[in-house]
Structure 1
């Protein structure tokens, strides 16, 4: 899921647009920015909307976090780092965008339990 999202960012060209994240934040939080003129969250969103390079840096980190999941298709050696990457992505995406990926956390069991192998029983 995450790797395909990274591919979509490449295909759609969003990763090559430095103002992409600022525009997404403005679109996502415009009503919140209008109704709440003060507070740390409002100030942070307003800062990121106004400073597209800082917002793009976060967008680039999110893209890299999504893109590295391709490693999971080829090896199990880095599964613990993918688990950490997923958890960080979920927390920061919830804090910044309000998108709840926590319902996907049970799927981390696929990465965690991949280190175990199923023994073939002798019939």
Structure 2
């Protein structure tokens, strides 16, 4: 898969999962972190190079958290304020998803290096 397609698909998954998590999936509780982490791990497993992994997981994490915060905020707060809040706190998402993706890639590369050859 090309880098651009990987980043776009990761972003779309982030938007979709963020919207589902904010309103439907686990009713906005901490249980949402399980599927979020699974996707971040999957990004680390399927990407073929480090730059693609960083871009894809950063895009996924930012959009996931920003959309989740916007969707989960059901109070009487004005829309503009909800959007600004979600956009600002959305910056936390890439920190977590990039870290998990990098750890997954390091483990995957370590396992591949130590796998016995079939020669």
TM-score surpassing 0.5? no
Q: Given the two structures, how large is their TM-score scaled by the length of structure 1?
A: 0.33
Q: Given the two structures, how large is their TM-score scaled by the length of structure 2?
A: 0.34
**Which has the higher relative contact order, 1 or 2, with Cα contacts under 8 A spaced 6 or more apart?**
2
- Give the structure with higher Rg (CA): 1
